[in-house]
Structure 1
Amino acid sequence: MEHLVSVIIPCYNAERYLDMSIGSVFEQDYNSIELIIVNDGSTDRSEEIIFSWKKRFEEKGLSLVYVHQENKGLGGAINTGLKYVSGEYITLLDADDQFLQGSIRKRAEYLASHPECSGVRSNGWYVKGERRWLFITEEKEKNISDLFTALSLGQTNNWAGTYMLRTDVFFTVYPDRNIFPSRLGQNLQLLLPVSYKRKVGYIDEPLTEYFIYDNSHSHASDLHERKVVEERNSEGYREIYFKILNMLTTDTNELELYGNMYNSTFYRREMRRMLGYKDVKKAKHYYKLLKTTQYCTISDSIDIYSVTCKPLAIILKVVRKMKNLIKL
């Protein structure tokens, strides 16, 4: 007997991609699917395209639940979708991405045969134009035993489309079926609670495709604006992380431990981002903060000194190489 899988697709002005994403669910070799599409106030042809698929789903014996609402942002769209979930397992799909064949079946079968797991993740493809590359290539990332720690340290991707979660576990954490209605950080809100002190399995096969679209800007004013927006968003992600952490535990040791982990990830990411924007002053600021955590690495020092003190960076590279040779 197949377990019912609920798939939520939040949608906002995605007419260019909906045939691909909805079609990838429709073509799955798994019959017990409940597709929930939340149209978050689209002003394009999204609704028309969704309705064109509804009859095809019904003819195939699949459920397609369509909900239209005023624009509430991604978090609000997910919250609406969660109210309609009736499956034993749940997964999300962005409107501009797609599942590969077997994606739902293989993850559902994994959960059915691994009752000790609260969820399962898989590999996937990044796709940008003609290029494609795997999410996960290193064995240590494939063999992560503590996903909560790995997510806190930024050691693996948090794209929800590669995960499938047990609904009962998820709704134990969110009994009112509401995540924080933020416009960012949804993936962390879905994955962190399910992985906290729980086991999450892994399927070493790409089962989803995540498309990267070129939104690059060339003008200096645009670059400055992007830098400011990215910095604000990054702070928003950190705020969401600590909201989730405080929701999961009141233990002061755990709060300090995981807080340090995520702060190191945040400082490192911001340092590298500022180096990319050639803002050395801010990069040095984040490096200084990173050093206050226990997770500053020799590679972090090489990154900053490659710009601020190249001779020292060269010395550190030699030291790193010697350490790697000793490990062998």
Structure 2
Amino acid sequence: MQIVSVIICCYNGSKFIDQCFSCLLNQTYKNIEAIFIDDGSTDQSYMMAKSYIEKFSEAGMKLICLTQENKGAGGAAALGLTIATGKYICCYDIDDILYPTSLERQVLFLEQNPSYDIVRTNGYRVSPNTNKSLFMNNEEEKNKTDIFEDLLLEKTNNWAGSYMVTSKALWNVYKDHKIIESRYGQNLQILLAVAYNNKSGFIDIPLMEYRFNPQSFTNQNRSLANQLKNLQGFYELRKNVLNT
């Protein structure tokens, strides 16, 4: 079984750690290298995460816990990726839910389709009022194998937990295994880099739940000034990835 490196970034997410780690421990695919990065939390996130190391070992999995000063999700993921050893890499947000067969189905797709370096899955977006909606309903979007331009122009989603990439394709772009330490995240950096010259597949089965968090970095302040700042930040991130 190939190793899957799962990058988990956390800032003050102690209330989600039990749920997050239970989702990983309940995965039907067991060759998991979970890399947890505490991004300068002021709660007990890091200590709670460390308490799971033995449980992961007993389940035949590996849990690595790191901590750093606060740099944002991109900065935390950048640290985790420097030590990732898996043939496959994915990211997992601390407050989301992975269904038990999620990683197994993605690995199986990539193993059976070696000409692909990305696989994405369907899932549910869950809002605070518990309404669920599917990520994708459009058949054309599901069937696209070249998703680079759609990612670049924000015509398709890039949510953590809904994709897996081959490390070979990722490190072909980031040869020193270092992405940009950006507060505007890691998902675009990973997916854009791999999608540039590689094919993407899609599993049309809901395999996760993306929990809309009003307190997230991009949602916590919806003032016009903050929205403009975020737009500029995501623009600069795209530009930097394109230059890479």
TM-score (norm: length of structure 1)? 0.70
User: What residue number does 2:10 align with?
Assistant: 11
Cα deviation, residue 205, structure 1: 0.7
Q: How does 1:65-76 map to 2 (within 5 A)?
A: 65-76=64-75
| Alignment-mate amino acid for residue 152 of structure 1 | L
Residue from 232, 236, 241 that aligns with 2:238: 241
User: What residue number does 2:207 align with?
Assistant: 207
User: What residue number does 1:56 align with?
Assistant: 55
Cα deviation, residue 163, structure 1: 0.6
Whether 2:229 is the aligned partner of 1:232: answer yes
Q: Deviations over 1:31-63 (max 9, x none)?
A: 111100011111101123212221111111110
Equivalent residue of 1:137, what SS?
coil
Measured in 1, the distance between the counterparts of 2:35 and 2:106 equals: 18
Cα deviation, residue 131, structure 1: 1.0
Answer with 106-115 or 159-168: which moved more.
159-168
- Tell me which protein shows more helix as a share of its residues: 1
User: What residue number does 1:154 align with?
Assistant: 154
Measured in 2, the distance between the counterparts of 1:214 and 1:16 equals: 16
Measured in 1, the distance between the counterparts of 2:206 and 2:124 equals: 6
- Tell me which protein shows more strand as a share of its residues: 2
Return structure 1 stretches of 4+ with deviation > 3 angstroms.
none
Cα deviation, residue 173, structure 1: 0.7
Equivalent residue of 1:118, what SS?
strand
Q: Deviations over 1:98-154 (max 9, x none)?
A: 211100000001000110001111111101232111000111111113110221232
Measured in 1, the distance between the counterparts of 2:152 and 2:38 equals: 31
Q: Contact 2:136–2:142 at 8 Å: present in 1 too?
A: yes
Equivalent residue of 1:17, what SS?
helix
Cα deviation, residue 214, structure 1: 3.8
User: What residue number does 2:108 align with?
Assistant: 109
Measured in 2, the distance between the counterparts of 1:161 and 1:60 equals: 21
User: What residue number does 1:30 align with?
Assistant: 29
Measured in 2, the distance between the counterparts of 1:211 and 1:227 equals: 24
What are the ranges of 5 or more consecutive residues in structure 1 without an aligned counterpart?
217-221, 248-328
Q: Deviations over 1:170-212 (max 9, x none)?
A: 0111111211111004221110010012101110111111101
Q: Provide the aligned length of Structure 1 versus Structure 2.
A: 240
Measured in 2, the distance between the counterparts of 1:60 and 1:78 equals: 24
Measured in 2, the distance between the counterparts of 1:41 and 1:155 equals: 32
User: What residue number does 2:89 align with?
Assistant: 90
What are the ranges of 5 or more consecutive residues in structure 2 without an aligned counterpart?
none
Q: Contact 1:144–1:150 at 8 Å: present in 2 too?
A: no
Q: Contact 1:148–1:196 at 8 Å: present in 2 too?
A: yes
| Alignment-mate amino acid for residue 237 of structure 1 | F
Cα-Cα RMSD: 1.7
User: What residue number does 1:195 align with?
Assistant: 195
